Amino acid sequence: MVNFQKLKNIILSNNSFLITTHVNPDADAIGSEVAFYQLLKSLGKKSYIINHSETPYNLRFLDVDNVIKQFNLDDHADLFNQVDVLVALDFNRSDRTVSMKKHFDQSKAIKICLDHHQDPEEFVDYEFIDTDYSATGEIIFNLITESKIVPLTKQIAEPIYAAIMTDTGSFRFERTTAKLHRKIATLLETGINPTEIYDKIYDQSKFSKIKLLGRALESIQLIADGKIAFMIITQKDFDEFGAIESDTENFVNYNLSIENVVLGLLFIELKNGFKVSFRSKGNIPVNKLASEFGGGGHTNAAGARFFDHQMTQEMINSILNKAINYIK
């Protein structure tokens, strides 16, 4: 259970904040950052948002004040020691900050983490983590509504809605409860437009992304008597279509749309290694599968990143063999 009074006290008793999230941020990550920034702005606090990765093009509309910056050593390294508080949103391991890890770990600032993922690493001073939440954005919603730290404005509600909507799979995943829908109703009452938010996130894809999706779908293979599906995207594919890593968001879910498939994987070759996304149905714990390779996540949605490793067929086969063990 998250102690919102303690979180409120930390916010009110400090003046400057640096907010960050994980590599390759999704809508929960960006939405939570913007909502937290708007909360701090309402209180007259000085705050910055610095990320390792560029903001995906379909999420830039959430950053209405254009405050999210991509980490630059010369411009931002000193900020980690100049602020009072470092805020880690939607991740629970410092290596998820990639190029900023050293600066985050060595900072003397107070470190706090708001997150809903399992198996957190001890890397902050105060954890506000609860895996029962559908999204990190929902934690921020409860901070506002339970502690009354600031009014819930439209500027705060929109990024929170985007965070929750996407992390619940448009309200179809397990943590989509009646209680959550009542929270969504409260967000809608601020005047946000759910149709517009959905359209901007999901229905304004670049042509390069659609071409890459076609290649990913073409690559799908079935193993384990049709219970496991996997797809592969190579750097050659990215180069051919002019696509980028963030374009692959949600591609892995197409594996689970195939009948009888209960576990899906997406292998993505990167310039400095590769990553694997895992999805499952029922009680198949892909977070434990991901943890075997240094990754993590949720029971039904997880990932692992392999820095400076080639995505060889041998590596793919090794991961697939491990995956087979989880459906036996």
Do residues 289 and 313 share a domain?
Answer: yes
pLDDT, residue 111, reads 98
Residue 277 has pLDDT above 90, yes or no: yes
Q: What is the C-alpha to C-alpha distance for residues 155 and 292, in angstroms, rounded to an integer?
A: 40
Do residues 277 and 134 share a domain?
Answer: no
pLDDT, residue 217, reads 98
pLDDT in tens, 231-267: 999 999 999 999 999 999 999 999 999 999 999 999 9
What is the number of structural domains in the chain? 2
Tell me which of 201, 231, 260 is where a domain ends.
Answer: 201
Do residues 281 and 295 share a domain?
Answer: yes
Tell me which of 147, 179, 201 is where a domain ends.
Answer: 201
Residue 1 has pLDDT above 90, yes or no: no
pLDDT, residue 2, reads 96
**Percent of the chain at pLDDT exceeding 90:** 93
Do residues 232 and 284 share a domain?
Answer: yes
Give the pLDDT mean for 86-91: 98
263: domain CATH number is 3.10.310.30
Do residues 279 and 319 share a domain?
Answer: yes
Confidence of residue 283 (pLDDT cuts 50, 70, 90): very high
User: 222 has which bridge partners?
Assistant: 229
Confidence of residue 211 (pLDDT cuts 50, 70, 90): very high
Please give the residue range of the domain that contains residue 176.
4-201
pLDDT, residue 234, reads 98
Residues in the chain: 328
Do residues 263 and 162 share a domain?
Answer: no
pLDDT in tens, 2-39: 999 999 999 999 999 999 999 999 999 999 999 999 99
Do residues 158 and 246 share a domain?
Answer: no
Confidence of residue 148 (pLDDT cuts 50, 70, 90): very high
Tell me which of 151, 170, 201 is where a domain ends.
Answer: 201
CB 248 within 8 A of CB 215: no
Do residues 124 and 35 share a domain?
Answer: yes
Do residues 58 and 170 share a domain?
Answer: yes
From residue 8, alpha-carbon distances to 43, 83, 148, 150 in Å are 11, 17, 9, 10
Confidence of residue 328 (pLDDT cuts 50, 70, 90): confident
Residue 226 has pLDDT above 90, yes or no: yes
63: domain CATH number is 3.90.1640.10
pLDDT, residue 173, reads 86
Do residues 163 and 291 share a domain?
Answer: no
pLDDT in tens, 100-122: 999 999 999 999 999 999 889 99
Do residues 193 and 218 share a domain?
Answer: no
pLDDT, residue 118, reads 86
